[in-house]
Structure 1
Amino acid sequence: MKKEVRIALYIVSIVCVILLGAAMIYAAHHGGSIRQKDSRQTAATAGTEAAEDSKDKNGESDLKTSDKTDGKNDAEAGKDAASEDADKKIGKNTETTDVTEDTTLMFTGDVLFANSFKTNYDAGGIDAVIDNGMKELLVNADITMVNEEFPFSNRGTQMEDKQYTFRTDPSYAAALKKMGVDVVTLANNHILDYGREALSDTFTTLDGQGILYAGAGDSVERAQEVQVIEVNGKKYGFLAASRVLPVAGWNVESAVPGVLSTYDETRFVNAIAEARSQCDVLVVYVHWGLEHQEKPEAYQRTLAQKYIEAGADVVFGAHSHCLQGIEYIDGKPVFYSLGNFVFGSSIERTMAVEMVVDKDGAISYKLVGAKAENGKTRQMNELEQQQLNDYINSISFGVTVQDDGTVTPQ
């Protein structure tokens, strides 16, 4: 081979090596990952979505036993489910970044996937259950939390001598993801309606969806474990417990799996104090009070004081199935009950609470009014929102709800 040809080939090979190296360097800096809208990572890998459209329509009332004859066996729903919202990922102990923007959290009250929900969801998906305005608020929030007032399961034995018992096929867990839910409280008086098998299935189903759960577990330690989500460089912790249990045996200290009880508040108060050092913002969600009563019981206010003193930044309540008032204790708000959110065919008034944490750690709260008609929850219009603001002002303690729904202490 002529000398000139060898030199030319040598030069070409050097150029190819340089171009290949440049391409690798560019790929390392620009290619490798899909940008998330925040720092959260999912506990479950994205894959095929859970089956959504379980056809189990029936003519029972929403307040009758739910799913007693549900014969579907969708065992994979809790194992191989994935979020349709790929940029809304959650998990514990993820890497943090510098805080450069505000973080938004949304909280709602009781959620029950029973007959009105199923009828609407089977017919039109999540858009037939929640209107677009409210759905977007929940989905676009960095973290959304609700009270899940039922187990996900097709197993278990219905509790005897209990007026209302609930159970929902695990395939419907996909609806929680479509609502933007990241964490739920299971500490309530319906989560063991079908026994411990159904509660175990609920854990599996939520794990499969990448949804965290607080207030129940397969051990005392798990039930009282703070659930942590990191967003924008801050750790947000979530704890839950119930002061309403049908029988003492539901207490996780009596048998497992079970619910964390706060009849004797000592364990829960200690859990709050321990969690305080593990997160920047600590949220407590408790099941308490009397049904259909707009004023909290004296014991609720006493417990709230203890929770705040132990380290809670905010306390949310449920169980009354109606809204209760708001109170600031030592500068921290207590929302005694958020009422029903997706629960039956009609809800006269309810609300979500928007909690915004700015980059400096300052926290603000805003009420977003809602109501349900024909099983669909929708955001209130301006007039309805003002009426809600006035109503909450009338039942609260030293609190002002401004025209835009912002909540401040007087």
Structure 2
Amino acid sequence: MKRTNLLMKLLIILPVFLLAALLVWIAVDGQRGGIRETLASGRETAAAPAAQEGKQTAASAPEAASEEVLKLEVSETEAASTAAVAETEPEDPVVHLLFSGDVYFSSHVLTAYDNAGGIHGVLDEAYRDEIGRADIYMANQEFPFSDRGTPAPDKQFTFRVPPERVSMMHELGIDIVTIANNHTLDYGTDALVDTCTTLENAGIPYVGAGANMDRAKQLETIEVRGRTIGFLAASRVYPDTSWVANSKKPGMVSGYDPTILLKEIEAAGEYCDYLVVYMHWGIERDEKPQEYQRTLGRQLIDAGADLVIGSHPHVLQGIEYYQGKPIVYSLGNFIFGSSIPKTALLRADVDLEQNQVNLSLVPGTSGAGFTKELTDPGKKAEFYQYMQGISFGVSIDENGVVRDGTAGN
């Protein structure tokens, strides 16, 4: 009986013991699993920054490469865009030429310049802006640059300017000058040679005179956007024939016998697209051109000149068209010592593609060495009417545009 009771107790206790042992094992194993998960999580947490850093490092190379490719693509796109703009916006086909008459740095002009400390004391802003818009500005340099020589005998007025003043030519915006006039040899051939040297050193081309006849008659050309503009000059005003150059002597090209000049004009067509001939001629203070001026002007056009410009009278003379090409007989004084009631810049807009030249006048006045553009509408209208009245078969509108009244006749 006692054995039976003991067996029964064992059968009851043993399952309970086994169940308790199982529960303890499960609990212990669960804790170990939690520890493993914690350790694994810790390892993953610790590894995450390193992995992320590794990913960033690994990705940086292709990103940098992508940035370089992007920059290159943008650069190529910009270049293509710029090229497209260049293709869609062609260069201006018009060459903008500007001309004035006599320029002389007299004592009045030099005083005005020095007192103001610059060219703004000699020329107003409106005229300076006009010159700045031109492709080429040409003037008659009515003096030699030199400190040497003696005054020419039997001349009432002799001009000479120190060579260091050549910087004023640049300040004025002058691109080329004619030195074929009745003052170039006021102080002899040495002064003329000094003038040529001074201009050459300053990079300013000159025509009409030089160290010998070959240089004096030489065609000067200036290229503007692929178009070549040519320039020649001569004088029909000088005291005697000793002022004319020859093969060994400095001097100028003569307009009394235009044979040499006409030959140079005929030959120039091979070297330029448009030819300007600047003449020193006429009678001082006379607004009417002499008959020889009109005859010679037409000869120059017949030989191949496209535009003839004149100076010497110190006053404005009229404009005429011959064979559809303009002859401007005198632009008068532009920068000088004496009072200048009427002056003007001549604008010539040359469109070689359309075979068209548009002329216009920019009127002004001068006093005490200072030249300024006219701004008063009434005075400008009076100026245009005056110029039309002394011209030959041309009309000049309220904007100063000159038109050939004989065209089509």
**TM > 0.5 between the two?**
yes
Match of 1:120 among 112, 116, 120: 112
Kept in 1: contact 2:212–2:247 (CA 8 A): no
Q: Specify which structure has the higher proportion of helix.
A: 2
SS at match of 1:198: helix
| Separation (CA, whole Å) in 2 of partners of 1:273 and 1:380 | 39
Task: Tell me which residue corresponds to 1:363.
Answer: 357
Please tell me the residue identity of whatever aligns with 1:364.
Answer: N
Task: Tell me which residue corresponds to 2:94.
Answer: 102
| Separation (CA, whole Å) in 2 of partners of 1:386 and 1:238 | 32
Kept in 2: contact 1:369–1:384 (CA 8 A): no
Please tell me the residue identity of whatever aligns with 1:214.
Answer: V
Please tell me the residue identity of whatever aligns with 1:373.
Answer: G
Kept in 2: contact 1:345–1:376 (CA 8 A): no
**Alignment coverage as a number of residue pairs:** 331
SS at match of 1:324: coil
Match of 2:304 among 308, 311, 334: 311
Kept in 2: contact 1:99–1:359 (CA 8 A): no
- TM-superposed CA distance for 1:298, in Å, is 0.6
Q: Identify unmatched segments of 5+ residues in structure 1.
A: 1-7, 31-97
Q: Does 2:397 align with 1:405?
A: no
Match of 2:388 among 374, 379, 393: 393
Please tell me the residue identity of whatever aligns with 2:120.
Answer: D
Match of 2:378 among 369, 383, 388: 383
Please tell me the residue identity of whatever aligns with 1:251.
Answer: V
Kindly provide the CA deviation profile for residues 217-240 of structure 1, in whole angstroms up to 9, marking residues without a partner as x.
112111111110000110000100
- TM-superposed CA distance for 1:345, in Å, is 3.7
Match of 2:199 among 202, 206, 215: 206
Higher relative contact order (CA 8 A, sep 6+): 1
| Separation (CA, whole Å) in 2 of partners of 1:255 and 1:109 | 30
Q: Structure 1 245/345 Cα, relative in aligned 2: closer, same or farther at 3 Å?
A: closer
Match of 1:252 among 238, 245, 249: 245
TM-score, reference length from structure 1? 0.76
Task: Tell me which residue corresponds to 1:372.
Answer: 366
| Separation (CA, whole Å) in 1 of partners of 2:223 and 2:379 | 35
| Separation (CA, whole Å) in 2 of partners of 1:170 and 1:407 | 37
SS at match of 1:137: helix
Please tell me the residue identity of whatever aligns with 1:220.
Answer: M
Kindly provide the CA deviation profile for residues 177-213 of structure 1, in whole angstroms up to 9, marking residues without a partner as x.
1111000000000001011111111111111221110
What are the within-5 Å matches in structure 2 for residues 40-79 of structure 1?
Answer: none
What are the within-5 Å matches in structure 2 for residues 143-222 of structure 1?
Answer: 143-222=136-215
Kept in 1: contact 2:180–2:207 (CA 8 A): yes
Q: Percent identity?
A: 45
SS at match of 1:157: coil
SS at match of 2:289: coil
- TM-superposed CA distance for 1:139, in Å, is 2.5
Structure 1 segments (4+ residues) deviating >4 Å: none
Task: Tell me which residue corresponds to 1:271.
Answer: 264
Q: Structure 1 401/205 Cα, relative in aligned 2: closer, same or farther at 3 Å?
A: same
| Separation (CA, whole Å) in 2 of partners of 1:138 and 1:131 | 11
Q: Identify unmatched segments of 5+ residues in structure 2.
A: 1-56, 80-89
Kept in 1: contact 2:213–2:247 (CA 8 A): no
| Separation (CA, whole Å) in 2 of partners of 1:138 and 1:256 | 35
- TM-superposed CA distance for 1:375, in Å, is 1.5
What are the within-5 Å matches in structure 2 for residues 210-249 of structure 1?
Answer: 210-249=203-242
Please tell me the residue identity of whatever aligns with 2:351.
Answer: D
SS at match of 2:330: coil
Give the aligned CA root-mean-square deviation in angstroms. Answer: 2.6
Kept in 2: contact 1:140–1:180 (CA 8 A): no
| Separation (CA, whole Å) in 1 of partners of 2:349 and 2:190 | 38
SS at match of 2:127: helix
Please tell me the residue identity of whatever aligns with 1:189.
Answer: N
| Separation (CA, whole Å) in 1 of partners of 2:320 and 2:368 | 32
Please tell me the residue identity of whatever aligns with 2:259.
Answer: T
| Separation (CA, whole Å) in 2 of partners of 1:387 and 1:239 | 33
- TM-superposed CA distance for 1:404, in Å, is 0.5
Kept in 2: contact 1:305–1:329 (CA 8 A): yes
Task: Tell me which residue corresponds to 2:292.
Answer: 299
Task: Tell me which residue corresponds to 2:46.
Answer: none
